[in-house]
Amino acid sequence: MRKVILLLYILLFSGLISFAQSRNKAYEAYIEKHLPIAQKQQSTHKIPASIILAQGLLESGAGASYLAVNANNHFGIKCHDWTGATEYRDDDKKNECFRKYKSVSDSYKDHSQFLLRPRYQSLFSLSPTDYEGWAHGLKKAGYATDPAYAFKLISIIETYELYLYDNAAKSGQKKNTATNQKSKQPPYEEFSIGKIHASAKHAVYYNNNVRCVIAEAGVTYGSIADEFNISEKRIRTYNDVNSKAELKAGDWVYIGPKKKKAAKKHEFHTVQAGESMYSISQYYGVKLESLYKLNNMPFTAGAEFGKSLKLR
């Protein structure tokens, strides 16, 4: 019996890993299209925009499911006490009744109303930026029967960094349009998307398609973590630093996981005086461990002046 349980956990865990690694353009297009609706619902009902978008993505297959296409139903909500139009579809049982809407916007509005029911009331005592609490709370309250439902929502939110939009919705702002902006330091793929929310101190840039900021004087990893609603432990992991590392003004701080390889136009780097493996990994937005592996170097080795390092 223990072997069976262990196998189930292994299968579930491996499934979640593959789920977390899947990032596709259809999901990104869905997020861009429906973000304003989700933010409006958070502003009105205090439901995290990240949770709304993650549920919409998961339940509708990024808008491609049968119910999404034929009934504008993006959240898989069944009829229950519904008196409007309906659509029938096999689900947990055969030929189950689902709500049908005139528009996607109506589906989002009804989803918010659905969560205002008494069975979900405990969720509203959570912070509107506590997406993990909301995800587990939805599963516990019976929103879905899938045992991995909460973890799938969290995986989507973290893979697509939807938690950043919770702060944006909270302040009534939308993601700013990217504009080209030069900098004396990396990132190479530089452009600013401005401040994600009104209280943010830092403009956000992209390097190697990873969000990052330039640390201002006096800030810490903890304060940046609070600023962008990310745990300090995660921020430190993103930046390959231990719990004792401190920031100084001008340091680049990644607020998303760095990549295993540099951007395509950066295949090699010649080590300059004063550079370290760490500074090079930060410069190109590449994980420190990956940089070592790409060059078949032991982790105890340093950056040798004049040496050409592979970045891809």
Side-chain-side CA neighbours of residue 221 (13 Å): 19
Q: Which residues pair with 213 in a beta bridge?
A: 253
| CATH code of 26's domain | 1.10.530.10
pLDDT of residue 168: 52
> Measured between alpha carbons, how far is residue 128 from residues 32, 134, 234, 235, 270 in Å?
20, 8, 20, 20, 46
pLDDT of residue 22: 43
Same-domain pairing of 164 and 287: no
Instruction: Report whether 99 contacts 81 (CB < 8 A).
Output: no
Same-domain pairing of 132 and 273: no
Domains held by the chain: number: 2
pLDDT of residue 167: 64
Sign of CA dihedral 298, 299, 301, 303: positive
The residue with tokens 């793929």 is 189
Same-domain pairing of 35 and 164: yes
Q: Which residues pair with 308 in a beta bridge?
A: 270
173, 169, 56: which is closest to 110 by C-alpha?
56
State which of 170, 199, 227 marks the end of a domain: 170
Q: Kindly state the helix (H) or strand (E) to which residue 222 belongs, with its residue range.
A: helix 221-227
d(CA 246, CA 268): 29
Q: Indicate whether 280 belongs to any domain.
A: yes
Q: Indicate whether 261 belongs to any domain.
A: no
Same-domain pairing of 22 and 165: yes
d(CA 217, CA 237): 21
The tokens describing 198, both together, are 């009104």
Instruction: Report whether 278 contacts 240 (CB < 8 A).
Output: yes
Backbone torsions φ then ψ of 81, nearest 5 degrees: -100, 25
Residues of the chain with pLDDT below 50 are 1-22, 169-184, 186-192, 195, 197-198
pTM for the structure as a whole: 0.52
Q: Which domain holds residue 110?
A: 17-66+105-170
d(CA 91, CA 2): 31
The tens digit of pLDDT for each residue in 195-251 reads 454 455 777 778 888 888 888 878 899 998 888 888 899 999 999 988 888 888 778
| CATH code of 281's domain | 3.10.350
State which of 146, 170, 194 marks the end of a domain: 170
Same-domain pairing of 152 and 280: no
Amino acid at site 279: S
State which of 135, 155, 170 marks the end of a domain: 170
> Measured between alpha carbons, how far is residue 32 from residues 4, 28, 38, 129 in Å?
42, 6, 10, 19
Q: Indicate whether 45 belongs to any domain.
A: yes
Sequence-separated (6 or more) residues with CB below 8 Å from residue 132: 154
The tens digit of pLDDT for each residue in 49-75 reads 999 999 999 999 999 999 999 999 999
d(CA 114, CA 255): 33
Same-domain pairing of 165 and 22: yes
pLDDT of residue 246: 87
Sign of CA dihedral 296, 302, 307, 309: positive
Burial class (CB in 10 A: 0-12, 13-18, 19+), 87: middle
Q: Indicate whether 26 belongs to any domain.
A: yes
212, 291, 215, 278: which is closest to 250 by C-alpha?
215
The tokens describing 142, both together, are 């019976």
Q: Indicate whether 204 belongs to any domain.
A: no
pLDDT of residue 23: 58
Same-domain pairing of 166 and 274: no
Q: Indicate whether 221 belongs to any domain.
A: no
Q: Indicate whether 60 belongs to any domain.
A: yes
Sequence-separated (6 or more) residues with CB below 8 Å from residue 226: none
Peptide bond into 48 cis (omega under 30): no
Q: Indicate whether 218 belongs to any domain.
A: no
pLDDT of residue 238: 92
